[in-house]
Chain A
Amino acid sequence: MAESTIATGSVKASDFAPLAAGRSAETISRPSLSYWQDAWRRLKDNRRALISLYIVVGLLLLTLVGPFIWTMDPALQDLDQVSQPPFADRSATIAAPYSSWDTSDVAPSADGLAVIEPPTSQSVRLSWESIPGSSGGYRIYRNIFPIGPERALGLPLGDVFGGAPRFFEDRLDLEPRTYYYSVVALDENQRETTAFLQRTIDVRRVITAKEAIDKGLAEDTLPVGAELRLTAHPLGTDYLGRDLLARLMHGARTSLFIGIFAPILYVLIGISVGSIAGFAGGRLDQLLMRFADFVVALPFLLFMIVFKIAFGIGPGESGIFPMLIAMVILLWPATARLVRGQILSIKNQGYVEASKLLGASSGYLIGRHMIPNTLGVILVTLTFAVPSAIFTEAFLSFIGMGVAPPTPSWGSMCNEGLKTMLTTPHELIFPALFISITVLAFNLLGDGLRDALDARMRSRE
């Protein structure tokens, strides 16, 4: 452009007038961004990382504030509601205290299998018609699944022998649900015949007025037949009737405590060892790094278990701290190696040389130049270390080597939930879901932080 105007000879003298003073060319027109501001700007643009960050903050809130909002005791057993799924029916009816069944003036059923009184969780009273060929008596079964063509009768409740009247009372762990009862005729040798009666019975939950007061559900004695609602359990209960939401929140305290504090501790140790080794160099460096090599070679999970039993758990202790210490002992070398490498590459940079020339001490060089410049990489390592620590805790608690009961942790809750996976899957699903979401959030956040903080490690996705 400029050359062309000169070529056409249209240059005026005014074109060479000096610029008006007042606008300094030195002024930077845009606000300068610090390293961390720039990283935050990048992170904000990454939607996946930002959502993960929100999830992490939400989880921390759940852990710290949750137990103050949902104040249910995680160890409290609600035996009226054992293994209840979320949003289960909580209604109950007040019933008179149990009195034994006097069958002397009750006529046995003449038509199929009948329920004599309304079936409640207190007792189910059955009577049935006489089945031909039942000279030996009858055997009563109960199933929680439909009997089906394979004749899966379920749990044998008891036998009624030949001479006895055709009555049976079931009081065995009754829950408010649908049961499939069947009565099989026995031959003279008490062997089962093919003839049987069946009936589907919906059991209603009842409690006595006294129980209602004892459990704090009612203030005064309620009349028989009154309706009331049992304690709410938003996520259901486990096999001991403990509130799952409360246990998940207290379990989060265990899992996140280990998941966050163990990495912080071993990363700190790794930073100290790595920076000393990288800065000192020579013999000390060799020595520290050989030792780190040895520790890396220890089979991690085996030694987690060996160290954990070596530190021991006293009666009444949760076993969180032995696990923490074992993790710190075994995992510091990776960070130490990383920090050492970073320090070595920074050590010969111009600004470090300049600082050294100006008389900076070793401590100042490490604290002012080297560690702040490796902080980005360290933060990324830390974020990726959290999910693996959570996995380790869950894994150890799952095989029964982790946190001691009754302290809840997500891993031990999964372990308990696995046993009843087929009948009450929610006991496994919720803790497993929490572990997965947490691990996923920290992994995606780590990816985002790596992209934001470290230009060299930026992923190629």
Chain B
Amino acid sequence: MHEGLDAQTFNNLFVEQLDTVDGIKKTAAAGAAFVRARIREIGFGRRIMPPESVTRVDLTRSTDHDTLIKIVDIEHNSKAMALNFAGEADERYIQGKRYAIPFFKIESEKFVKSEGELLAYDYPITKVIEENSIKDIQKVEDIKFIEYAEAAISLTGKRLVSAATAVDRKEMNSLFKMIDYDQLLADVCLMNTVDFDDYMVQPAIDIGSPLASEITVDGYKYQTILKRKLVVTNKHDILLPGEIWTFTEPAYLGNFFILNDIKFWIKKEADLVMWKSWEYIGEGFGNIRSIAKIELDVPNPIPVGGTI
């Protein structure tokens, strides 16, 4: 739990204090803190490109409609030259490039429950919020994250298709080289749990006997793979088995902005309690060369029964 708030306290705040104006305020504040804390932990997009808070003054309006964008600068190129003493380098009239990140809203459904039924829940109400609001919001974030990443590699062509049916170090190496060869540095590796399972059954002849023994007992417990940060997700509906991504450090990748902060709203009308969460975010990859993907020929769907 976040900020010293245990499930019991939160339950009390949530149910018992909703009959007063002050109680509703406290509940909303506690709910917002909880949502903020949890959403940071479970979205893979946020672990790869941590969000940055912005306020209205950081953003620009559109002349055509009532929406907001943030304009982000891209570092311009430059070069030096080897010259004779009497020579002079080329001139460069600097032309900065920039791009716009449009903001949009991600909002949970508005949940409604009677006070009595809510009390019948025998597990923390925080869990209800987590299952019904936080996961839904951060899932949309991750969907957009992958959608934008797909758009980037469709332009750069940094997409390898491999006939390998399981990931191993050789496939990972090929993936990272797409970034490293481009004068960038692959910093993060994103894969789903199915591929991670495959990675852990590599034979000792490939990964060395000590590591193979260790993995057999404890699993792969390191935070890095081939020196890259490892991010593993179970969201197979967003990241299909066999699809492994790599990204550079955030500074060379793009931007993820949150306008103000995630909001949590709660209201009680007679015996009905209703709540919802929403946030305004903008994300974009300013450097499309900083993303690469390998697609393995992993059987899909993964057999979940039958004979192997």
User: A and B: real partners?
Assistant: no
